[in-house]
Chains A and B, each alone.
Chain A
Amino acid sequence: MKKPLKIFLSLTVLILLSFLITKIIFRINQKNEVAKNIKIIPEFSFQDINGVLFKNRNLKENAATIFLYFNTECEFCNSETEIIQKNIEKFENIKLIFISIEQPEKIKNFAQHYQLLKYDNIHFLCDKQASFGTKFDVTALPTILIYNSQKQLIEKIKGQVKIDYLLQKIK
């Protein structure tokens, strides 16, 4: 009776361990691959809240770009957006791209609430297929990706951050 139990338990541990190790190796490789791909802004294409396609070529030449992955119901995302709105003049020469997996209507209401629709350098995009998260390895809300004017990644920040910190990174 004890021998089969011994074999069963040993096999269970072994199978679980092998499964986890395989998954860990796969995920590490995937993370490394993404980290390599996002060093420079990768090719992307998302619809904005008016249904118009927004691609790499819509980014401003020689200007820094900030991607803010958010959700309208996330408290920290709202807080970050509010801080940006209060300091909007400091972002004059920066392309600010807000992106969310939510419906365009919901994103539009959010943008209207913070009065951010009137600025040319601010865009609100819909990630309908949730591909931004996979492409940029985003696992938290909000996540901020800061790219310099050469389109090189400066920092990927998880969570909320103060404006001074954000602007200091772009300088």
Chain B
Amino acid sequence: MKNLFLKYLIISLAFTLISEITNNLLNVNGLLRYFLSDYLTLKELNNYFEFQNKWHWLTYFFIPIIILLKTSIITLILYIGLFLSSKDLKYSNICCIVINAEFIFLLVPIIKTIWFLFFQTNYSLLDIQNFYPLSALNIVGYKNLESWFIYPFQILNLFELSYIIFLAFQIGKLTQTNTDYGLKIVRSSYIPVLFLWVATVMFFTLNYS
């Protein structure tokens, strides 16, 4: 349990730190100011950034909460999947493998930063917002895509695939079976819920965009 909490703390800190570094290195605030300058007056812009600076500390809580929610829900889904396959495992053990797998996604902001720092040096705020390394969105490009198709194309990426395989591998190890068995569990629990999640995000984007 102590180990689990430590891992959660490390991953939350790592995500928060990387996100801060990315924002600074890519000058996200400057790009946001430039983007908003088309829409807001100077006074409104200053008020906006003043407000943002005042409440910036809240983002340090936001990332750990999101990670907590995400890992708890995925753990619950896998727990149900395993329970229905007659494998009664401890919730904390499953949670531990979900947090382990979450470390894969740390590579996303790192690669994103490297990409914009060294390869696509001329970029806008929208480029940063819509970029997802090694995803289907990079093949089709976001500019010709309707806003509600962006998320499903982002989700189709190699990190998600690695995440699924790594989860399966760990489940195989935990249940003392093999990765194939783990894949069966992930395929029947995590993947259908992931589809449901993508469809929900699409539905809301469509209705509010």
CA distance A160 to B47 in the complex (A): 15
Cβ-defined contact, A79 with B196, below 8 A: no
In the complex, residue of chain A having the shortest beta-carbon distance to the beta carbon of B202: A24
Cβ-defined contact, B84 with A13, below 8 A: no
Partner of A6, one of B41, B84, B208: B84
Cβ-defined contact, B208 with A139, below 8 A: yes
In the complex, residue of chain B having the shortest beta-carbon distance to the beta carbon of A30: B206
Cβ-defined contact, B207 with A27, below 8 A: yes
- Write out the residue numbers on chain A whose beta carbons fall within 8 Å of the beta carbon of B38: 161-162, 165
**A28 touching B40 in the complex, CB below 8 Å, given contacts A20-B196, A20-B200:** no
B41-55 toward A: CB 8 Å interface, digit per residue (1/0)? 100100000000000
Residue B62 lies at the interface, judged by CB distance under 8 Å to chain A? no
Partner of A162, one of B39, B86, B203: B39
Partner of B39, one of A9, A21, A165: A165
Cβ-defined contact, A24 with B44, below 8 A: no
CA distance A31 to B195 in the complex (A): 23
Among residues 192 to 209 in chain B, which have CB atoms less than 8 Å away from a CB atom of chain A?
192-193, 195-196, 199-200, 202-203, 206-209
- Write out the residue numbers on chain A whose beta carbons fall within 8 Å of the beta carbon of B39: 159-162, 165
Cβ-defined contact, A16 with B84, below 8 A: no
CA distance A165 to B202 in the complex (A): 30
* Chain B interface residue bracket vs A: 20 to 34
What's the count of A-B pairs with C-beta under 8 Å? Answer: 54
Cβ-defined contact, B84 with A17, below 8 A: no
Residue A130 lies at the interface, judged by CB distance under 8 Å to chain B? no
CA distance A17 to B39 in the complex (A): 38
Residue B80 lies at the interface, judged by CB distance under 8 Å to chain A? yes
Residue A2 lies at the interface, judged by CB distance under 8 Å to chain B? yes
CA distance A23 to B202 in the complex (A): 10
B206 → A minimal CB distance (Å): 5
Cβ-defined contact, B40 with A160, below 8 A: yes
Cβ-defined contact, B208 with A13, below 8 A: no
CA distance A160 to B38 in the complex (A): 9
What are the nearest 10 A-B pairs in CB distance?
Answer: A20-B199, A27-B206, A13-B192, A6-B84, A165-B38, A161-B39, A20-B203, A2-B84, A160-B39, A24-B202
| Chain B residues within 8 Å of A, Cβ to Cβ | 37-41, 44, 80, 83-84, 86, 148, 192-193, 195-196, 199-200, 202-203, 206-209
Question: Apart from A16-B196, A28-B148, what 12 extra A-B contacts exist at CB < 8 Å?
Answer: A2-B83, A9-B80, A10-B192, A13-B192, A13-B196, A23-B203, A24-B148, A28-B206, A31-B206, A161-B39, A162-B41, A165-B38
